[in-house]
Amino acid sequence: MKLFVDSGIVKEIEALASLGIIDGATTNPSLMAKAGGDPRQILKEICRIVQGPVSGEVVATDYEGMIREGHDIAAIDEHMVVKVPFTRDGVKACKTLSGEGIPVNVTLIFSATQALLAAKVGAAFVSPFIGRLDDIATDGMHVIEEIVEIFDNYEFGTEVLVASVRHPIHIVQAARLGADVCTCPPAVIDQLFKHPLTDIGLEKFLKDWEKSQAVAR
């Protein structure tokens, strides 16, 4: 499973990418607003760092505006993926942009039917927001299970990019279901490195080694 970082903060992305675990990145208008600065420059820098798919989202809500902004985003870097919301105009824009060879990530997906339509218009990725489904007592992972099953039945080339990830168990569940990508906030990725038994075990190894060296001296 590919691991993308969900952030517009270059320093956070750089720190994680240096570990060799990051395959791409996703952003959205909220994350870019939080980052501040010039969005185009930030996206260009993220592309340089991750050297994988980087999603930049349009803010236009009309078809023509999405196409215009989509072309601008695609022109930033060869790694750019154009993110459009799942609306009628977004679906139509996905059809057009995909037809031009521009990879599209259809976002704000909350059902298997939305994912199916996005795949039909050639989306490179669909982004089901599982955390926001869980937030309203709806099983987000069940939607992932349905999407993966449907995409496998019809060999859609569209990748399932699990988004709105809240904790490591979401990542485990997504991987067990065969999702293609998980995009995670840096804080959730950091949690993947933590296990108390690893810390305890390493401390004991080092103490035992130190003891043996003291005896040898």
Q: Which of 20, 171, 22, 19 is nearest to 7 (CA)?
A: 22
What amino acid occupies position 214?
A
Out of 16, 22, 24, 26, name the contact with ligand G3P by CB under 6 A.
26
Q: Supply 149's token pair.
A: 């099953």
Binding string, residues 172-211; x marks residues near ligand G3P by CB under 6 A? -----------x----------------------------
- Tell me if 164 contacts ligand G3P by CB under 6 A: yes
Out of 63, 125, 129, 151, name the contact with ligand G3P by CB under 6 A.
129
Out of 29, 65, 131, 168, name the contact with ligand G3P by CB under 6 A.
131
Q: Which stretch binds ligand G3P (CB under 6 A): 40-48, 96-104, 125-133, 198-206?
A: 125-133
The least distance separating ligand G3P from the CB of residue 201, rounded to whole angstroms, comes to 33
How far is the C-alpha of 16 from the C-alpha of 22, rounded, in Å? 7
Q: Which stretch binds ligand G3P (CB under 6 A): 24-32, 41-49, 62-70, 93-101?
A: 24-32
Is 83 known to be catalytic? yes
Total number of residues binding ligand G3P (CB under 6 A)? Answer: 10
What percentage of the chain's residues is helix, strand, coil (to nearest 5)?
55, 20, 30
Alpha helices in the chain (DSSP H): 10-17, 29-35, 39-50, 63-74, 88-99, 112-120, 130-135, 140-154, 168-177, 186-191, 196-216
Tell me how crowded residue 176 is: count the other CB atoms within 10 A of its CB. 12
Q: Which of 193, 165, 190 is nearest to 179 (CA)?
A: 165
Q: Which stretch binds ligand G3P (CB under 6 A): 36-44, 69-77, 127-135, 206-214?
A: 127-135
Half-sphere exposure of 130 (CA within 13 A, CB side): 28
Q: Supply 196's token pair.
A: 């108390």
The one catalytic residue among 83, 92, 95, 211 = 83
Out of 106, 123, 163, 174, name the contact with ligand G3P by CB under 6 A.
163
* Residues engaged in binding ligand G3P (CB under 6 A): 6, 26, 28, 31, 129, 131-132, 163-164, 183
